[in-house]
Amino acid sequence: MTRVQVSKHVLVNVRRRSLCDNCLEVGCVDPRNHRVIHCEGHVAPFFVFKKCPRCGKVYEIFSDIASLDYDICPECNHAERHG
């Protein structure tokens, strides 16, 4: 689990084991016995948006469970990993 600071006094806990750990989808057919990093039916418990300090894009923090740094957007995370 990681904590993401979304404002001066607000931190959000994000579970990193699987996207299913951060999902409220009713009637999901996934057996949840493996790590899910992308799901079309994912329903986040709430929406938290941040602005990436590198590129300026506004992104939702639950959009990429595989991000190594939740303070930057998924695209910048991907570029950093494969850059």
pLDDT tens readout for residues 28-43: 776 666 777 777 877 8
pLDDT along the chain (83 residues), means of 10: 77 74 75 72 81 92 76 87 71
pLDDT at 47: 83
Continuous H helices in 1-83: 74-82
Tally the domains of the chain. Answer: 1
The CA angle 49-53-54, to the nearest 5 degrees, is 120
**What's residue 21's pLDDT?**
77
Instruction: Please give the pLDDT value at position 55.
Output: 95
Q: What does pTM read for this prediction?
A: 0.63
* Segments forming the whole domain that contains residue 15: 2-82
What three-state secondary structure class fits 14? Answer: strand
The answer to whether the Cα torsion of 68, 38, 76, 8 is positive or negative is negative
Please tell me the distance from the alpha carbon of residue 71 to that of residue 61, in angstroms, as a whole number.
8
State how far the Cα of 53 lies from the Cα of 29, in Å rounded to an integer. 37
